[in-house]
Amino acid sequence: MSVLYTSDPVRGETWAATFAEHAPDVPFHVGLEGVDLAQVEYLVAWRVDPALLARLPRLKVLFSVGAGVDQLGLAALPPQLPIVRMIESGIITGMAEYLALAVLMLHRQVPEYLAQQARREWRPHSVVPAARRRVGIMGLGVLGEAALRQLAPFGFALRGWSRSPHALEGVQGFHGAAQLPAFLAGCDILACLLPLTDDTRGLLDARLFAALPRGACVVNAARGGLLREHDLLAALDSGQLSAAVLDVTDPEPLPVASALWNHPKVILTPHVAAETRPGTAALAVIENIRRHGRGEPLHGLIDRGQGY
Ligand code: NAP
Ligand code: GLV
């Protein structure tokens, strides 16, 4: 039995060191060189070449190095192969920090002040109290919940939307397509932490932006494919939206010709909101391998039917 890791080789060194320390009985390989593929039972990857899977006859579980699994190309993977998303503290704290940063920047009108600074314009705007700022998170999973916990002490009026009902203290909950309009109508700042699936692709479009209060702001820290760039630009230019903070785009890297780069109402970061921390990620995979060996349910096993 062995584990094959095919993601970033530099971070792979920390993965290998963590396996050596905490699971010395589990052979761990970074990259394909010299690996007996017939012995590989667990694969850890960001993207997967289906041709590689065909060479792994004993593969039992595919672990994503990220919280998201869309980049694995689920449709091309064997339907019975268990796929596990990454749940580890580095991603969770990273995303909670990023959401706090993005929401506070929008709450305190930083995009507008940056545009004024570029024009050498000294013009204060009145501050809206946090309690009067309605912040909504789409996606109440591991990361959505962590973001809400991080935002709560600022005193924002918090709301959240998910597929199934969630009862979170201090958060007004909405779920399902039927409650989406009511959720959106009360979001001055909307942040997306949904997985990219057949149901969510392109959800952040002109129709959704029109359902937000005029002048609302948007954060996308999930996947670029959730948002229609052209619709976002139109909503920003019409004033329906005031500003956007985007950590993800479609495609990535963002093409140099994209109008997002120079848009005065857009703040861009290059998919850095929450990076997998190799040490804690390796511990999470070790724990799941142990669980698998004992026949226990895996943490973060995705539902192939739902795609997340
Ligand atoms: P998760 O725990 O699986 O949570 C997903 C949430 O989305 C759940 O609350 C789920 O609802 C909701 N959801 C899924 N489909 C929906 C639909 N059709 N309608 C309404 N709600 C829906 O995922 P996570 O760990 O929080 O991660 C979320 C995403 O963040 C990842 O998939 C990844 O794409 C992205 N991400 C980005 C970065 C970055 O650096 N930018 C880093 C890490 C992750 P239920 O609770 O009802 O199931
Ligand atoms: C990063 O985007 C992740 O899915 O962890």
Q: For 242, phi and psi rounded to 5 degrees?
A: -90, -35
Question: What is the arithmetic mean of pLDDT over 271-300?
Answer: 98
Ligand 2 contact via 94 beta carbon (within 6 Å): no
The confidence score (pLDDT) of residue 87 equals 98
The confidence score (pLDDT) of residue 237 equals 98
**Within a 10 A sphere around the Cβ of 234, how many other Cβ atoms?**
14
Of the residues 159, 223, 228, 263, only one is catalytic, namely 223
Q: Which residues are registered as beta bridge partners of 241?
A: 216
Which are the contacts of 151, defined by CB distance < 8 A and separation ≥ 6?
99, 100, 103, 135, 158
The confidence score (pLDDT) of residue 297 equals 98
Nearest CA to 94 among 308, 281, 285? 281
The confidence score (pLDDT) of residue 91 equals 98
Q: Give the 3-state DSSP-derived string for the chain, with helices as H, strands as E and coil as C.
A: CEEEECCCHHHHHHHHHHHHHHCCCCCEEECCCCCCHHHEEEEEECCCCHHHHCCCCCCCEEEECCCCCHHHCHHHCCCCCCEECCCCHHHHHHHHHHHHHHHHHHHCCHHHHHHHHHCCCCCCCCCCCHHHCEEEEECCCHHHHHHHHHHHHHCCEEEEEECCCCCCCCEEEEECHHHHHHHHHCCCEEEECCCCCCCCCCCECHHHHHCCCCCEEEEECCCHHHECHHHHHHHHHHCCEEEEEECCCCCCCCCCCCCCCCCCCEEECCCCCCCCCHHHHHHHHHHHHHHHHHCCCCCCECCCCCCC
Biggest CA pair distance of the chain: 67
Mean pLDDT over all residues of the chain? 98
Token reading at 103? 């929401």
Question: What is the arithmetic mean of pLDDT over 201-210?
Answer: 98
Is pTM, for the whole model, over 0.95?
yes
* 269 band by pLDDT with thresholds 50, 70 and 90: very high
112 alpha carbon to ligand 2 midpoint, in Å? 29
Residue 175 appears among annotated catalytic residues:
no
Ligand positioned closest to the Cα atom of 221: 1
Residues 296/298/301/303 CA torsion (nearest 10 deg): 10
Distance separating alpha carbons of residues 239 and 206, to the nearest angstrom: 13
Ligand 2 contact via 219 beta carbon (within 6 Å): no
Q: Are 217 and 188 in contact (CB under 8 A)?
A: yes
Ligand 2 contact via 248 beta carbon (within 6 Å): no
Which are the contacts of 303, defined by CB distance < 8 A and separation ≥ 6?
none
The confidence score (pLDDT) of residue 231 equals 98
Of all atoms in ligand 2, which is nearest to the CA of residue 91? Answer: 5
Token reading at 160? 């959240």
The confidence score (pLDDT) of residue 203 equals 98
Percentage of residues in the chain with pLDDT exceeding 70?
A: 100
Nearest CA to 92 among 67, 63, 65? 67
Of all atoms in ligand 1, which is nearest to the CA of residue 143? Answer: 26
Residue 271 appears among annotated catalytic residues:
yes
* 125 band by pLDDT with thresholds 50, 70 and 90: very high
The confidence score (pLDDT) of residue 111 equals 98
pLDDT tens-place string over residues 2-44? 999 999 999 999 999 999 999 999 999 999 999 999 999 999 9
Token reading at 95? 């995303």
The confidence score (pLDDT) of residue 58 equals 98
Ligand 1 contact via 220 beta carbon (within 6 Å): no
pLDDT tens-place string over residues 81-122? 999 999 999 999 999 999 999 999 999 999 999 999 999 999
Ligand 1 contact via 218 beta carbon (within 6 Å): no
Exposure of 131 in the CB half-sphere (CA atoms within 13 A): 0
Ligand positioned closest to the Cα atom of 249: 1
Exposure of 82 in the CB half-sphere (CA atoms within 13 A): 15
